[in-house]
């Protein structure tokens, strides 16, 4: 990861509206390698952690999130779109 990196998290809320968390607004921590009980071994730079701010999960139900990594360096100018992940927010 470098200063030529943009990260975006795109959320789809239970009511089908969307919310986006952009670059500097994100406090994404690059993973340092972990053995997750559900996903197995995740190596460095294969995952991110994101602390959701208070009040953001304002709707109960099924949410979806997808991370986009953009390398904004002049060459190459690559965009990598991660797999979508879903999670459920319990009734509020």
Q: pLDDT digits over 67-90, tens only?
A: 888 877 777 678 888 889 999 999
Task: Flag whether pLDDT at 3 surpasses 90.
Answer: no
| DSSP symbol at 44 | T
| Residue carrying structure tokens 């965009």 | 79
CA distances from 86 to 9, 14, 74 (A): 13, 11, 33
- The length of the chain in residues reads 92
Task: Provide the H-helix boundaries in 25-71.
Answer: none
- pTM, full prediction: 0.74
């Amino acid at each position: 990861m470098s200063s030529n990196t943009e990260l975006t998290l795109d959320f789809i809320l239970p009511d089908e509206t969307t919310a986006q968390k952009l670059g500097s607004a994100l406090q994404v921590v690059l993973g340092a390698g972990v053995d997750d009980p559900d996903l197995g071994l995740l190596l460095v730079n294969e995952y991110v952690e994101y602390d959701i701010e208070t009040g953001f999960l304002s709707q109960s139900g099924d949410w979806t999130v997808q991370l986009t990594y953009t390398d904004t360096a002049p060459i190459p100018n690559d965009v990598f779109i991660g797999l979508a992940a879903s999670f459920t927010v319990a009734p509020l």
